[in-house]
Amino acid sequence: MKRSALPTLLLIALAGHTGTDANAAFESDEGALGFVREMTENHGFEREVLLDALKRARHEPEVIRLITPPKSTGARSWKRYQARFLDDRRIDGGLRFWREHHATLEAASARFGVPPEIIVAIIGVETHYGSYTGNFETVSALATLAFDYPPRAELFRKELENLFLLAREQNRDPFEYSGSFAGALGYPQFLPSSIRNYAVDFDGNGRIDFDSDPIDAIGSVANYLAAHGWAAGDPVAVRIHLPDGIDSAGLIAAGIYPTLDADSVRNLGMIPLGGDLHTGKATLVDLVTPGERTEYWLGYQNFYAITRYNRSSFYAMSVYQLAQALRGGYGAPTAGR
């Protein structure tokens, strides 16, 4: 007899469910039926339970609107992006968060090698320290992206799969989860796959809680960065002067992964501004603002680790600079120049 693959709580909820408008349900969608088949074959889920769950899920047009790139994006602007995350409100909130959770942050830093200010900055950029975690019902958001949005269907199909697996592992109704329009959850905005792979029970209470308390989020952010190559004690980035005649476009096109060794950096004549050149490998980062001189930085392994959280050099630099502001405001020496 095949075991029930969803929590008892969900089975009870579904037993009393009377169905939804067929136009808003996924249970007859061809892609959704293929998903159900894979889940039953690969993970032992019961077909009828999954169909009932998909009947409860809603098509969310707002999710499609939010994830669809605008037809005209305009020019990239580092100064505009930076201003969203380096204001007094976010810095003051980060200092309060750090002081309130000082012991937890120190413990996470000692265990994983990631400075407290980096952990705080990521949570600050992601959710303003837990203030804005999203209110989209996650099953519906991910089902919409998995079955209604072909450009990224494969990614979100995997996240929907991981959401059902996560619910089974945590003995929760998957409809209890809510978060961003893209399915990211809680203080750290982890996708379900990241929760399953990188979340840690940092308070030791036997469960992962990203919703009501930041302790597990603090440990999990540090664990995520460590798992993606954070090098304890090494710098993140340094601003540089780039001499005329250097093929900056070619160096940037080489990608975000650090491949420039220290000898190459010196031979190219790159000069650090307000910091030292590190001996580790680096990548050239351009921070472009229309009408202003482009900022050039060398991003090291730890910069790359931050981009594993969000694949954007603007994102990684905003985390780094917010962390620098927090470290300065906290009254300790600045870390990772």
Catalytic residue annotation: 126
Q: Which of 241, 258, 239, 236 lies closest to 327 in space, CA to CA? A: 236
**CB-hemisphere CA count at 13 Å for 63?**
27
Quote the CA–CA distance of 200 and 218 in Å, as a whole number. Answer: 9
Distance of CA 159 to the CA centre of its chain: 13
Q: Which of 123, 118, 124, 132 lies closest to 306 in space, CA to CA? A: 118
Rounded to 5 degrees, what are φ and ψ at 185? -125, 140
Written as six digits, the tokens of 110 are 């000692």
Written as six digits, the tokens of 125 are 């950029």
Quote the CA–CA distance of 45 and 22 in Å, as a whole number. Answer: 23
3-state helix, strand, coil in the chain (%, to 5): 55, 5, 40
User: Cβ distance 159 to 193 under 8 Å?
Assistant: yes
